[in-house]
Amino acid sequence: MSRNFGRYGASCHAANTANPSFTNGSRALRLADALALDVIPTSSRRAAEVYPHPALVTFFDLPKILTYKHKPGRDFLHLQSELLRLITLLDSLADAAPPLLLKSSPEWQAIRSAAESATRKSHLKRLEDAVDSVVCAYIALYTTTHPTKTRLLGTPTTGQILVPVTPTQAHQIDHP
């Protein structure tokens, strides 16, 4: 991930396998097992790990990640502006292939309204996971309709992350 998306600020942290929550495998793997989902990419009933930041860079041709996540040093107005920018970008996927039809969703409108009317960082923090879940679901939809425009980074043993890619990114990944 870092090699291919680090220049965009979209590196990710390795899982801390010393953490007791990984005693019997990752939470994601336990969930996949409980739902009888396979983690093999070619399976018809599969689960995949995804990561919003590189997908957003790819979908919207961004030079850097959107910094909507709460981190030390990011002030409220910056976070609110970036979250609203992301919401607007996701709305623009209504014209994409496949389309993401959010504007007619009352739940999505409530998220937008809550982001617009937020007055504290904690209000925005509550919305991050909801917005990320939409991004993750769209990655899954995109993958099923454009399998050749996605790549699995990592290995089955150490973990894999499914990412949408541009043709240039695909070439860089395929021919390091």
3-17, 20-34, 58-72: lowest mean pLDDT where? 20-34
**Region 62-66: what's the mean pLDDT?**
97
**Region 98-111: what's the mean pLDDT?**
97
For 81-90, write each residue's pLDDT tens digit. 999 999 999 9
Q: What is the pLDDT of residue 44?
A: 81
Q: Return the closest-CA partner of residue 46 out of 166, 174, 162.
A: 162
Q: What is the pLDDT of residue 154?
A: 85
Q: What is the pLDDT of residue 45?
A: 85
Query: pTM for the whole thing?
Result: 0.89
At 16, is the pLDDT very low, low, confident or very high (cuts 50, 70, 90)? low
Q: What is the pLDDT of residue 39?
A: 79
For 143-171, write each residue's pLDDT tens digit. 999 999 999 998 777 778 999 999 999 99
Q: What is the pLDDT of residue 9?
A: 93
Q: What is the pLDDT of residue 69?
A: 94
Mean pLDDT of the chain: 91
Q: What is the pLDDT of residue 15?
A: 67
CA angle 129, 135, 139 (to 5 degrees): 140
Tell me how far apart the alpha carbons of residues 139 and 133 are, in angstroms, rounded to a whole number.
10
33-37, 135-139, 146-150: lowest mean pLDDT where? 33-37
For 107-122, write each residue's pLDDT tens digit. 999 999 999 999 999 9
